[in-house]
Structure 1
Amino acid sequence: MTTQVFHNGHILTERGFETGVCVVVEDGHIVAVLHGPPPAIGEHIDLQGGSLVPGFIDMQVNGGGGVLFNNATSVEALATIARGHRKYGTTGMLPTLISDDIDVMRRAIDATHDAIAQGVPGILGIHLEGPYLAAARKGTHNASKFRVPDADDIALATALDNGVTVITLAPECVPTHSVTAMVERGAIVCAGHTAADYAQTRAGLEAGITGFTHLFNAMTPLQGREPGVVGAALEDANSWVGVIVDGVHVHPASLRVAIAAKPRGKVLLVTDAMPMVGGNDASFNLYGETITAVDGVVRNAAGSLAGSALDMASAVRNSVHLLGLPLDEACRMAAQYPAEFLGLGHRLGRIATGYRADFVVLDANLHVRHSWIGGTE
């Protein structure tokens, strides 16, 4: 049995940040959170005054480490993407497939299954962002890939049997019975890249939609006489919304409004990250087109935003500095709340007894100093 004792830091416990506390880990899981001096057992890990927070969980990762998931549907590619994001505190992620052909979807799902089976650190499941989307709100997606899911599509999209599946779709483009079928087969369904009106969005929520993909982006806005997708998302107390806090995708004031409107715990940080996160190249290829990051903003040739160059540690810092959130709440938005949305809140996202020892140490400037997944650095 391997025992570790984490001590001498600001530790984000269930009560907020605490000092004079230590965390005891055995075989990769937390067995105690103790007040007072650390016990004289196991390996002592001195946090040197850093902040120990739960490992970040990102449900929208298109790529990283120089790799785009659509272009490299293999276990090796997933390991590279996960390593690219690990240095920024992401200890759990859903590799995200942008709308593509059925064969690519099948390979992506198979690769995710194999990565989880082989224990690739950080891979929790898959996010299928499309291809059941609206051409009017396609963003950088290729509308020629879009389709209405039939029974075979639904079976394929929900085929992952050893991890979490999130499916983003446009509720006005998918029959409500198909949304319900996906949910019944274990998928978590989000609305996104959608031109739906308020009534269509409400119908989707009633059919089983529980999330909204990158709120405000690629969806109908909140207006006085037509609340749209954004209005439905902010009104609904039971659904979660993902937000890209990079100062580009959404104005900070709009994000503050969303956080104020939603119940606490229903707003998640996501990156929508592209291959340049954790990689060395500012460009990559999608659908045969070169996509480039300029001054940290990723756009296609038409000028549309094409994902982001954001990492989760930066999203946490931006939530503190741009949105004025306390650090503990920003960290919950990056860890605890995503875990709860994904149905993993009983074992991930908190520093508490019984949870997996997925940790990040932040320095005084909120940059990542160390990370652990299941107690392994």
Structure 2
Amino acid sequence: MMTVLAIKNARLFDGEQFHDDACVIVENGKVSAVSPARIPDGADIFDARGNVLAPGFIDVQVNGGGGVLLNHTPSVDGIRQIMAGHRQFGTTAMLPTLITDTREKMLAAIEAVKNAIDEGVPGIVGIHLEGPYLNTERKGVHDANIIRPMEDDAIEVLSSLPNGRILVTMAPEKAKPGTIEKLCANGVLVCAGHTAGTYDDIQKAIGEGLRGFTHLFNAMSPLAHREPGVAGAAIADKNTWCGLIADGYHVHPAAMQVAVRAKQTGKIMLVTDAMPTVGAKTKRFVLGGEEIIAIDGRCALADGTLAGSDLDMISAVKNSVEMIGVDLGEALRMASLYPAAFLKLDDRKGKIMPGFDADMVLFDPQTFQVKHTWISGI
């Protein structure tokens, strides 16, 4: 017998606009109706008490959470724990992200994500391989000893997840011409990141199908007035997406404001670049033999080098309103609708409308405290 869920008394943001005192009906994991004339008999009723009900957040860059780093625990249980760490902050879909690692670890992570999706671990929609095909000049916290040129079978490996999205972050200037085109033809989403490329390098990559840019401004050649660099190319292009870590540490609020005002609307998406400390009591962990500590939401090595973030998605939404100055609706689109479009999932995620997956977050708009989440209506 199918259970019907009715969420009433919500201030609904459907992905496009707000509706006061709304009711959402969920059947079989999908939204079946919004503000219907009546609630179906026998429905389970959830009272939203006037809080904001929005499409669940979609995070395409999640290194860890709940005390787990994907690189250390590339398993279904590890992925389940990372997802649980982030779900409490409104994330309902994610790409677990593997930082530059060995071939064996890459294969293990891809296999773990494949199995997690097969087993129905809620919210896992693919994998993000951030490296190892990067530029050591812009390595950040990635291990320079493991960063390497593409092997002969790299495209085959990077295309080997059969049941979800694969996002690859790479330095385009380090790849042979035609590589990005081949990856895109195999269904891989390619982003430029950890790159010292020029504006012209990026134009060539965009011509081959480059889809976006990983953590805008960070680990990429900066915007200058005579050489726009990767950052300038990212902001100027109308068709690519930019991930933005809106924690106030990775990017100065003024730079975030410039990017949001200048970039094509709909093409900046919030990401956390989160480490194991999100959703965990312990605020320290080890990466590549070095201890990383999260203090006041800032993850860094002892020398001050940023090492991912301690950011969660509801905080990213809050910061977008308070630091960037966008309205709440746009901040919510940056957290859900825009990443759904980037992932080519916007036909079923990113909106609360009939036929869409019932992935939703309920939160207090004054405190930005998450009250409840649903993934496929559960």
Match of 2:97 in 1: 96
| Distance in 1 of aligned mates of 2:88 and 2:153 | 38
Match of 1:162 in 2: 163
* Contact 2:168–2:189 under 8 Å retained in 1: yes
Once the two structures are TM-superposed, the CA of residue 21 in structure 1 deviates from its matched residue by 2.2
Once the two structures are TM-superposed, the CA of residue 324 in structure 1 deviates from its matched residue by 1.1
TM-score using structure 1 length: 0.98
Pair 1:7-2:37 in alignment: no
Match of 2:32 in 1: 31
Match of 1:216 in 2: 217
Match of 2:65 in 1: 64
Once the two structures are TM-superposed, the CA of residue 151 in structure 1 deviates from its matched residue by 3.3
| Distance in 2 of aligned mates of 1:317 and 1:198 | 32
* Contact 2:15–2:350 under 8 Å retained in 1: no
| Distance in 2 of aligned mates of 1:115 and 1:95 | 11
* Contact 1:22–1:36 under 8 Å retained in 2: no
* Contact 2:58–2:336 under 8 Å retained in 1: yes
Once the two structures are TM-superposed, the CA of residue 39 in structure 1 deviates from its matched residue by 5.0
| Distance in 1 of aligned mates of 2:361 and 2:265 | 23
| Distance in 2 of aligned mates of 1:285 and 1:176 | 36
Code of the aligned partner of 1:318: N
Code of the aligned partner of 1:223: A
Mark the runs of 5 or more structure 2 residues left unpaired by the alignment.
none
Once the two structures are TM-superposed, the CA of residue 202 in structure 1 deviates from its matched residue by 0.8
Match of 2:76 in 1: 75
Deviates more, 1:338-347 or 1:37-46: 37-46
Code of the aligned partner of 1:368: V
| Distance in 2 of aligned mates of 1:124 and 1:219 | 27
Code of the aligned partner of 1:162: N
| Distance in 2 of aligned mates of 1:270 and 1:296 | 15
Describe the superposition over 1:108-163 as per-residue Cα deviations: whole angstroms up to 9, x where unpaired.
00000000000011111000000010000000000111112133111111100100
What are the residue-to-residue correspondences of 1:314-329 with 2, within 5 Å?
A: 314-329=315-330
Match of 2:376 in 1: 374
| Distance in 2 of aligned mates of 1:285 and 1:155 | 31
Describe the superposition over 1:69-121 as per-residue Cα deviations: whole angstroms up to 9, x where unpaired.
00111000000000000000001000000000100000000000000000011
| Distance in 1 of aligned mates of 2:69 and 2:96 | 9
Aligned-residue CA RMSD (Å): 1.2
Runs in 1 of length 4+ with deviation above 4 angstroms? Answer: 35-41
What are the residue-to-residue correspondences of 1:42-53 with 2, within 5 Å?
A: 42-53=43-54
Deviates more, 1:354-363 or 1:297-306: 297-306
Match of 1:338 in 2: 339
TM-score using structure 2 length: 0.97
| Distance in 1 of aligned mates of 2:240 and 2:78 | 32
Deviates more, 1:343-352 or 1:176-185: 176-185
* Contact 2:15–2:55 under 8 Å retained in 1: no
Once the two structures are TM-superposed, the CA of residue 37 in structure 1 deviates from its matched residue by 5.8
Q: Calculate percent identity across the aligned residue pairs.
A: 49
What are the residue-to-residue correspondences of 1:1-377 with 2, within 5 Å?
A: 1-34=2-35, 38-363=39-364, 364-376=366-378
| Distance in 2 of aligned mates of 1:154 and 1:36 | 52
Give the secondary structure class of the aligned counterpart of 1:249: coil
Once the two structures are TM-superposed, the CA of residue 36 in structure 1 deviates from its matched residue by 5.5
Once the two structures are TM-superposed, the CA of residue 20 in structure 1 deviates from its matched residue by 3.2
* Contact 2:15–2:333 under 8 Å retained in 1: no
Once the two structures are TM-superposed, the CA of residue 261 in structure 1 deviates from its matched residue by 1.2
Once the two structures are TM-superposed, the CA of residue 207 in structure 1 deviates from its matched residue by 1.2
Mark the runs of 5 or more structure 1 residues left unpaired by the alignment.
none
| Cα distance change of structure 1 residues 308 and 293 upon mapping to structure 2, 3 Å threshold | same
Aligned residues: 376
* Contact 1:21–1:36 under 8 Å retained in 2: no
